[in-house]
Structure 1
């Protein structure tokens, strides 16, 4: 598939509802400008007289009622992946953050990502999202991807009903607070055999592991320099980098992110979200590197 076609597919992941707001605002602005030029009526008076502000409000409300869906390419549905290589000269890599949203840490990471114009994927836990919904909204407003990381972040063995509730209750929180529906899931601790992944597969979700573990979830948090060294050593094209913004203090992660971005860029990497990575890989008709359903991995 041609590069332009792959780009078109990626663009479809972007929030379509933004277009609604843009059309309403631009239309009102043009109407107000033309009327002001030809009638001499000030724009603010015109808006008040004609109710144009209500038009914008109604259109914005309609746009906000349209859920943002993070769908999974068909060949990745119900699959467990740790990376998704894309053939060609371009080196893509996805930065991911688990266990948030979290005060200060998530906000520091968001500020860096915005400054560097990098989009990432945030695997949110239901409980902290309920506690800090405004940070969750900020993640979404900055153009990042929201994914499901369960309600309680349990590693234990679960019955089918408990596993279902851990995923679906979190999905409901994400929908109610952010108006987002996501089919991307990461099991806490990377545990694949406790019932969670089995349920996610039944729902044709994408189970996302990682190819690069920053090590920042260890009790003795690695220094920013140690994290950078690990990531640079393990990074490969199509890779998924595991980091954390929640579940405790991750100030070292926030400090490391600017250098991680700078050093990976210096090596020729381009940053994409996990859905974008899978879209690119799917468009190239490549089979993802899958991890067997009986294996486990720690660190999330």
Structure 2
């Protein structure tokens, strides 16, 4: 009888240990998952990271990434001038350094300049490295046009703690883009596809992403006038990111953000 009870006690102890172990693992997994997900939800809810905005006004923000390019940026600027509209350029510091006259032209013509890092690193970077990239680009822009950058777009839209937290610590607002309107022009999908993706899916407060560098942007240049005309026919007015945020409220879009941008 004693031996039987001892066996039952040992078995009960083993089962208890296993149960406690499973609970600890589950708690650890949940804690880790929540810890990873909590910042993105907070950032989106607080409007620190912006992917979508809501406004009753028919406003859209055209944004251009990866420049300036001495070949394509002047063409973009000419088209914008012809249509008398303003846009926001998220520039790469190294390229701004090489083409300061284009930065001056962008600013002089009333467009907004955002920070897109100094080297456009697509692979994961440490927070300290990202902070230096932001500072270096901001210093370059300030020396050229005497204006500091206040908006940041992470290369490729990839968001991790090491790319977002340093930017927020420096007072930047992180600007992404609304997904449906993204024509992925970097993949050269064809002019018609670029135009239709934007014009057919536009909404009040859309943040539209295009590129004026990073490859052959001939399709983007050809599509841009058609995009502008198509959106104007729908009654949309073009504004900078600053103007858009002033007249709208941010929308969390949490699940969409996680799937596409949360890479950590």
- Quote the residue 2:157 is aligned against: 190
Structure 2 gaps of 5+ residues are 1-43
What is the CA-CA distance between 1:104 and the residue it aligns to? 2.0
Supply the distance in 2 between the matched residues of 1:194 and 1:247 (Cα, whole angstroms).
25
- Quote the residue 2:36 is aligned against: none
Supply the distance in 2 between the matched residues of 1:86 and 1:280 (Cα, whole angstroms).
7
8 Å CA contact 1:78, 1:204 repeated in 2: no
- Quote the residue 2:207 is aligned against: 240
Q: Which has the higher helix share?
A: 2
Equivalenced residues, count = 215
Q: Is 1:150 matched with 2:117? A: yes
Structure of larger gyration radius: 2
**Match of residue 48, structure 2, among 61, 70, 79:** 79
Change (3 A) 1:254 1:77: farther
What is the CA-CA distance between 1:233 and the residue it aligns to? 2.4
- Quote the residue 1:171 is aligned against: 138
- Quote the residue 1:289 is aligned against: 251
Identify which range, 199-208 or 98-107, moves more after superposition.
199-208
Structure 1 gaps of 5+ residues are 1-74
Change (3 A) 1:76 1:186: farther
Question: What is the RMSD computed on CA atoms of the aligned residues?
Answer: 2.0
TM-score (norm 1): 0.68
8 Å CA contact 1:78, 1:202 repeated in 2: no
- Quote the residue 1:230 is aligned against: 197
- Quote the residue 2:245 is aligned against: 278
- Quote the residue 1:139 is aligned against: 106
- Quote the residue 1:104 is aligned against: 71
Q: Is 1:205 matched with 2:177? A: no
8 Å CA contact 2:45, 2:251 repeated in 1: no
- Quote the residue 2:225 is aligned against: 258
- Superposition misfits of 4+ residues, deviation over 6 angstroms: 75-78
TM-score (norm 2): 0.77
What is the CA-CA distance between 1:189 and the residue it aligns to? 0.5
